[in-house]
Amino acid sequence: MAVTLRQLAVFAAVAEHGGFGAAATALGLGQSSVSHSLAALETAVHGEVVRRATPVRLTPLGELLLPHARATLTAARGFDAAATTYAGTAATATISLSVPPTVARGLLPGLLRLWHERLPQVEITVFEAVDDEIAQWLESGTVDASFLIDPDPFPVGGLHVATDAYEAVVRTDHPLAGEPQVDLADLLDDPLLVTTSGFVAPLEHLHATAGVPYRPARHIRELATVLSMVEAGLGVAILPSLAAAMLPDALTLVPLRPRLERRLVLTGPTTRPWHPSVVTLRDLAADLAGTSGGRRTRR
């Protein structure tokens, strides 16, 4: 099958940007070149991969092939980087990194500053995603690296960057605000607002450990919506302490008893070689994590 990397790059860009013009701009190509490359790809695979509409939509064939296209492009970038590194040349690179929202706001800014200072030639594109999406994106090749929460087993080559704990989110005028620590049972009088973006299982575990019933008043996907509802006085929430960076002035965190921690692990994929720049980013992050008990497994 005569499929080229350029055709795959065009396909991925059209899918990501939702149109031919936007994809052309992102790739630095003319729109006619984008259209021609995509048409050639569709000829090679014997079917349409997108529906020409506004915005462009993937066909079932496109949905099937897009993860493979992204994985191939990721592997090709890694191949080029490995060859350049072997030759002793400092190469520019673009690394895609997926992170949960709390990590993006509470932990990532410091790492981005460190990486930019030490590796100015490496551009890092950050994608926020919920826990399930993060693992899928990493293994499919959509991203080069990810922050995983409590991965089991611990990934080979992964770096334990930090640990934080789940705490109660309440209004600053709540009776429990300002307490040094509260029992989970103390929250039972308030409606519990739970985000479904990766927090249901740990909260179920936390309640089981404490021996108190898990009775969420509402399940909400978006973390920002949960915080808005707590701010409006509609209940309380339980979130990792890194969420402190996301709280408005009207909300505060209160440590919980029992304490439930989570590990934040920076890693590359498990099913293919890491991009060389991801290895370098991990090693730089290890310097920062070393002061907070982080650890790295060998790769």
| pLDDT band, very low/low/confident/very high, at 288 (cuts 50, 70, 90) | confident
Which domains are assigned to the chain? 1-89 (1.10.10.10), 162-262 (3.40.190.290)
The percent of residues in the chain predicted with pLDDT above 70, rounded, is: 94
List of residues 6+ apart from 238 with CB closer than 8 A = 166, 167, 168, 169, 187, 192, 194, 199, 203, 206, 256
Check whether 132 has a pLDDT greater than 60: yes
Annotate 14-37 with three-state secondary structure: HHHHCCHHHHHHHHCCCHHHHHHH
pLDDT at residue 89 in the model: 64
Q: Is 60 exposed, middle or buried (0-12, 13-18, 19+ CB in 10 A)?
A: exposed
| pLDDT band, very low/low/confident/very high, at 297 (cuts 50, 70, 90) | low
The percent of residues in the chain predicted with pLDDT above 90, rounded, is: 72
pLDDT at residue 43 in the model: 94
Mean pLDDT, residues 211-221 = 95
* 156 against 70, higher pLDDT: 156
Check whether 148 has a pLDDT greater than 50: yes
pLDDT at residue 82 in the model: 79
When the pLDDT of each residue in the chain is averaged and rounded to a whole number, the result is 90
List of residues 6+ apart from 137 with CB closer than 8 A = 98, 127, 129, 143, 146
List of residues 6+ apart from 257 with CB closer than 8 A = 181, 182, 183, 184
**CA pair distance 221, 217, nearest whole angstrom:** 14
Mean pLDDT, residues 123-148 = 87
pLDDT at residue 291 in the model: 43
The CA-CA-CA angle for residues 58, 21, 79, to 5°, reads 70
Check whether 259 has a pLDDT greater than 60: yes
pLDDT at residue 90 in the model: 60
Q: Which amino acid is at 144?
A: D
Mean pLDDT, residues 199-221 = 95
- Provide the phi-psi class of 112: left if phi over 0, else alpha when psi is between -120 and 50, else beta: alpha
Model pTM greater than 0.85? Answer: no
Check whether 190 has a pLDDT greater than 80: yes
DSSP conformation letters of 124-139: EEEEE--HHHHHHHHH
Check whether 293 has a pLDDT greater than 60: no
**Residue 293: Cβ within 10 Å count:** 10
**Residue 273: Cβ within 10 Å count:** 14
Check whether 200 has a pLDDT greater than 90: yes
| Three-class secondary structure of residue 55 per DSSP | coil
- Single out the residue of 217, 213, 212 nearest to residue 235, CA to CA: 217
The sign one gets for the Cα dihedral 68, 74, 80, 85 is negative
The counts of H helices and E strands in the chain are: 10, 13
pLDDT at residue 201 in the model: 93
Where are the alpha helices (H) located in the chain, listed in sequence order? 5-17, 20-27, 31-45, 60-86, 101-106, 108-118, 131-140, 200-210, 223-231, 276-289
Mean pLDDT, residues 237-262 = 96
Q: Which amino acid is at 95?
A: I
* 15 against 71, higher pLDDT: 15
pLDDT at residue 177 in the model: 97
Check whether 296 has a pLDDT greater than 70: no
Q: Are 277 and 265 in contact (CB under 8 A)?
A: no
| pLDDT band, very low/low/confident/very high, at 292 (cuts 50, 70, 90) | very low
Residue 277 in tokens:
């720049």
| Dihedral over alpha carbons 185, 186, 188, 194 (to 10 degrees) | -90
pLDDT at residue 75 in the model: 83
